[in-house]
Structure 1
Amino acid sequence: MPEPDDFPSTARNRELTARVGTWLGACFLLAFLTGVWSHLAQLPDPVLPLPTRPVWLYRVTQGVHVAAGTAAVPLLLVKLWSVFPQLFRRPPAVRRAQVLDAAERLSVLVLVSSASFQLVSGLANSAQWYPWSFSFRATHFAIGWVAMGALLVHVAVKLPVIRTAWLEPQGQPAQGTVSRRTVLGVTWAAAAVAVVTTAASGVPGVRRLSVLATRTGTGPGGIPVNKTAAAAGVARAAADPAFALVVAWGDTERRLSRADLEAMPQTTATLPIACVEGWSASGVWGGVRVADLVDLVGAPTGSAVLVESLQRVGASSRSRLPGNVAADREAILALTLAGEPLSLDHGYPCRVIAPNRPGALQTKWVSRLEVRP
Structure 2
Amino acid sequence: MRWRSPIRGPWLTSMFALPLLVGLPVVAFTGLLDRLAYGREQAIPAADAVGGLQLPWVDWPVSPAWLFRLTEGLHVGLGIVLVPLVLAKLWSVIPKLFTAPERNPVKLLERLSLVLLVGSILFLIVTGLLNVQYDYVFGFSFYDGHYAAAWVFLASFALHVVTKLPTMVRSLRSRSLRAELATPLADTRPEPAHPLVAPDPDPPTMSRRGAIALVGGGMLFVAALTVGQFTDQLRSTALLLPRGRTTAPDSTERGGPNDFPVNRTFVASGIAPAAVGSAWTLTLTGGAAPVVLDRAALAALPQHTAELPLACVEGWSTSQVWTGVRLTDLARAAGVTDPVTAEVRSVEVGSPFSRSLLNRAQTLSPDSLLALRVNGADLSPDHGYPARLIVPALPGVHNTKWVATIGFSRAAVR
TM-score, length-scaled by structure 2: 0.84
Matched, 1:148 2:158: no
Aligned to 2:118: 112
- Whether the 8 Å contact between 1:202 and 1:217 is mirrored in structure 2 is no
Deviation for aligned residue 1:91? 4.0
Please tell me whether residue 363 in structure 1 is matched to residue 400 in structure 2: yes
Letter in 2 for 1:320: L
Deviation at 1:103, TM superposition (A): 2.7
Greater Cα offset, 333-342 or 218-227: 218-227
TM superposition shift of 1:30? 1.3
For residues 156 and 276 of structure 1, the distance between their equivalents in structure 2, rounded to whole angstroms, comes to: 32
| Paired residue type of 2:388 | R
Say whether 1:256 aligns with 2:293: yes
Q: Any residues of structure 2 matched to 1:1-373 within 5 Å, and which?
A: 2=1, 6-45=2-41, 47-92=57-102, 95=103, 97=104, 99-169=105-175, 172=180, 175-176=185-186, 177=204, 178-219=206-247, 221-249=258-286, 251-372=288-409, 373=411
Post-superposition shift, 1:196? 2.0
Uncovered stretches (5+) of structure 1, i.e. residues with no partner: none
| Counterparts of 2:133 and 2:326, CA distance in 1 | 34
Which piece of structure 1 moves more, 277-286 or 130-139? 130-139
Q: Which moved more, 1:227-236 or 1:333-342?
A: 227-236
Deviations 1:312-367 (A, max 9, x none): 12222101111111100000000001111111111011000010110011000000
Higher mean C-alpha deviation, range 192-201 or range 61-70: 192-201
Structure 1: how far apart are the matches of 2:143 and 2:173?
40
User: Residues 111-154 of structure 1, C-alpha deviation per residue, up to 9 Å, x if partnerless?
Assistant: 11111111100001100110123211122112111101100100
Between stretches 158-167 and 272-281, larger displacement belongs to 158-167
Whether the 8 Å CA contact 2:287–2:335 is kept in 1: the answer is no
Unaligned runs of 5+ in 2: 42-55, 187-203, 248-256
User: 1:343 is aligned with what amino acid?
Assistant: S
Q: Quickly say closer, same or farther: Cα 1:272–1:115, change in 2 above 3 A.
A: same
Secondary structure of 2:229 counterpart: coil
- Alpha-carbon contact 1:248-1:369 (below 8 Å) kept: yes
Deviation at 1:206, TM superposition (A): 3.1
Matching residue's letter, 1:159: L
CA contact (8 A) 1:215 1:279 kept: no
Counterpart CA distance in 2 for 1:40 and 1:338 is 30
After superposition, the CA RMSD in angstroms is: 1.9
SS at match of 1:370: strand
Between the two proteins, the alignment pairs up a number of residues equal to 365
- Alpha-carbon distance in structure 2 between the residues aligned to 1:238 and 1:143: 41
Q: CA deviation at 1:87?
A: 2.6
| TM-score scaled by length of structure 1 | 0.92
Deviations 1:149-199 (A, max 9, x none): 100100111011111122222674774232221111110111121122135
**Structure 1 residue 21 displacement after superposition:** 1.5
Identity %, equivalent residues: 36
